[in-house]
Amino acid sequence: MKKISQKFLLAGVLLAAIAVLTACGGQTPTESPKPAVEPTDAPEVVQPTEAPAMPELSGDPLRGGQLYDNWINALGVDTPEGDQPLWATQTSNTRTGKDTWRCKECHGWDYKGVDGAYGSGSHKTGFVGVTQAAGADANEILAMLKGSTNPDHDFSTVMDDQALTDLALFLSGYQFDASVFIQDKKAVGGDLASGQAIFEENCTDCHGPEGTAINWNNDANPNYIAFLALDNPLEFTHKARFGQPGVEKMPSLVDVGISDQEYADLLAYAQSLPTSSPVVEGGRLYDNWIKAMGADDMTDNQPLWATQTTNTRTGNDTWRCKECHGWDYKGADGRYGSGSHATGFTGVFAAKDKSADELLAALKGENHDFSSYLGEGQLNALVAFMQQAQDMATYINDDKTVNGDAAKGEVTYKAACASCHGEDGKALDFDDGEGKEYVGTLAADNPWEIFNKIAYGQPAAAMPAGINLGWTWQDILDILAYIQTLPIE
Ligand code: HEC
Ligand code: HEC
Ligand code: HEC
Ligand code: HEC
């Protein structure tokens, strides 16, 4: 009952807004008199007596929703110099640069500006919302975005006309009042089974069945689907409606055509998913915890480093678990038993059957104490990772061939990797100077390393972790076998 009456209220407000805007529209000088009717026109078209509307704008309002979120990322353009000019007229929000240009930063995820969630807190600017634009003539909104009411609100210098038109169409026709079913950050009346079906249909291919395959923050504070759904359900809903700026293939649920109630269902389900995923976080920390956590560079070598002389690396590398214990976790008994990475240090594979307490104690041991750099959560994640570490010898042969099916792997590679790495694997070059290093190069040189990256993801990159996509070890090997057929240079 309550919901219905609120909807009626909303509709009433909207109608009132439209009425006001129409009335204003009638007075504006831009409305030109009706043009003479062409004599050749078919006679049956009876023209209404009112002045004709401005030409109907055409464009993509869903793209407009992404532009509202972050037009710089959506368009892939450089951030303009300095802050948006209107920024200086407020002092409460202390962000600078790129953020000050985002529509959402001034007008909010709920489109209500100072009257909504951004009425207080660190995002507060005191600026108005844009809900008045809902139902308004897109031509008027477009003029406004070109500075008709305030020259400091002219975005035509940084975006082309089509982008501004898309924004106007979004504001006019695609705003959404989520306050009906998001209250105190919770989804009111969300149906979990319905939400799960929507999630599985549209999201799991990339985010995994539990929403943990992609971490879009670092591993000091991982952000998975559930994190954002709980932390900022309005932002979550906006992104579910329009997609993520710059991520071409993330769908728009407006496009898919789900009902208002189904957004509540999706949100409720997303909020029920896990907010951490210890094994994959541990895998990325083992790979490179400094990078994974966005920590400062180390100025000294790890204290145990001085007890060996064969590996001549210095600094950050000397702190990586993998540098001392190997990609196959077997230290001196495995791949790092010889070559430039040899240290002679022990592996951790044999310790996988030790208790969590024993492993934690090792991570806090003398000259092997990581507890001043890593939090309890990260140390536990490393333990969880080590306890399920795989015996690489069953998957990868000494001659670097792998026990996988390249034909199967090709299908998965094209679906899950090619969008970023390219069909031939050459879209991203990992080498930071001389030479080239593509996925193909790495698969040929070091299949043990790439096995880890496919399973656990890449530290500090929004690259999916295969095991959280629901892949088996065999699925991972199949991809690896296929990548070994890609060009190495
Ligand atoms: C730096 C803050 C800021 C940014 C960024 C910003 N605006 Fe605004 N916007 C304002 C302010 C302040 C107003 C109040 C009216 C004025 O001064 O013109 C306003 C007014 C509006 C209005 C009219 C609202 C009303 O009720 O009259 C619309 C529509 C609008 N903005 C849309 C946008 C869109 C779309 C973007 C992104 C391209 C955007 N704004 C970016 C600050 C901002
Ligand atoms: C084609 C792959 C793909 C699909 C399908 C997909 N996403 Fe995403 N999504 C991504 C990627 C990649 C990112 C991380 C982008 C980044 O780092 O900016 C992301 C990020 C997000 C974010 C976080 C954005 C942020 O910056 O805070 C949310 C929320 C999200 N997705 C929700 C969803 C929902 C809900 C669905 C299903 C309706 C979905 N995604 C489907 C690829 C996808
Ligand atoms: C500079 C080289 C070095 C780095 C970096 C390093 N370790 Fe070690 N680790 C050792 C050595 C040497 C030992 C064995 C002697 C000791 O415990 O002091 C060891 C022992 C261990 C053990 C105990 C093994 C057993 O059999 O009981 C575990 C577990 C372990 N390390 C995990 C890690 C993890 C996880 C990281 C990353 C956070 C890491 N290590 C980083 C050198 C290193
Ligand atoms: C959303 C984009 C994205 C997707 C999808 C993706 N990756 Fe990545 N990947 C990256 C980024 C970004 C890097 C980091 C590149 C760098 O550090 O220069 C990376 C790095 C890697 C690396 C490590 C390179 C190194 O030496 O540090 C490997 C291996 C890799 N990806 C394999 C894959 C495979 C296999 C898949 C599919 C299962 C995949 N990636 C899917 C974005 C992606």
Q: Are 318 and 300 in contact (CB under 8 A)?
A: no
Whole-angstrom distance, CA of residue 140 vs CA of residue 148: 9
Query: What is the dotted CATH code of the domain comprising 406-483?
Result: 1.10.760.10
What residue's CA is closest to ligand 4, atom 15? 430
Same fold, 179-271 and 406-483: yes
The alpha carbon of 29 and the centre of ligand 1 are apart by a number of angstroms equal to 22
Task: Answer yes or no: are the C-beta atoms of 290 and 298 closer than 8 Å.
Answer: yes
pLDDT, tens digit, for every residue of 422-456? 999 999 998 877 678 999 999 999 999 999 999 99
Q: pLDDT tens digits for 214-272?
A: 999 999 999 999 999 999 999 999 999 999 999 888 999 999 999 989 999 999 999 99
Instruction: Convert 385-445 into a string of H (helix), E (strand) and C (coil).
Output: HHHCCCCHHHCECCCCCECCCHHHHHHHHHHHCHHHHCCCCCCCCCCCCCCCCCHHHHHHH
Q: What is the dihedral of CA 412, 416, 421, 424, to 10 degrees?
A: 20
Looking at 2.30.30, 2.60.120, 1.10.760, 1.10.3720, the CATH number of the domain 61-80+93-173 comes to 1.10.760
Closest ligand to C-alpha of residue 469 is 4
225-251: string of b/e by CB count within 10 Å (b at 16+)?
bbbbbbeebbbbbbbbbbbbbebeebb
CB atoms closer than 10 angstroms to residue 199: 21
Q: Would you kindly state where each structural domain of the chain is located, as residue ranges? A: 1-30, 61-80+93-173, 179-271, 278-389, 406-483
Give the CA diameter of the chain. 96
Q: Could you tell me the distance, in angstroms and rounded to a whole number, from the CA of residue 97 to the centre of ligand 4?
A: 29
Q: Please name the residue whose Cα sits nearest to atom 7 of ligand 4.
A: 463
Which CATH number does 179-271 carry? 1.10.760.10
- The CA distance from 414 to 418, in Å, is 5
Between the two ends of the chain, the Cα-to-Cα distance in Å is 65
Q: Is 164 in the pocket of ligand 1 (CB under 6 A)?
A: no
Which are the contacts of 130, defined by CB distance < 8 A and separation ≥ 6?
A: 103, 107, 111, 113, 171, 175
Q: What is the pLDDT along the chain (489 residues), one digit of tens a residue?
A: 333 333 333 443 444 444 433 433 334 344 444 444 444 444 455 555 565 667 789 999 999 999 999 999 999 999 999 999 999 999 999 999 999 999 999 999 999 999 999 999 999 999 999 999 999 999 999 999 999 999 999 999 999 999 999 999 999 999 999 988 899 999 998 999 999 999 999 999 999 999 999 999 999 999 999 999 999 999 999 999 999 999 888 999 999 999 989 999 999 999 999 999 999 999 999 999 999 999 999 999 999 999 999 999 999 999 999 999 999 999 999 999 999 999 999 999 999 999 999 999 999 999 999 999 999 999 999 999 999 999 999 999 999 999 999 999 999 999 999 999 999 999 999 887 767 899 999 999 999 999 999 999 999 999 999 999 999 999 999 999 999 999 998
Residues contacting ligand 4 via CB (< 6 Å): 416-417, 419-421, 428, 430, 439, 442, 450, 453-454, 458, 461-464, 466, 479
Residue 337 CA to residue 50 CA, distance in Å, equals: 86
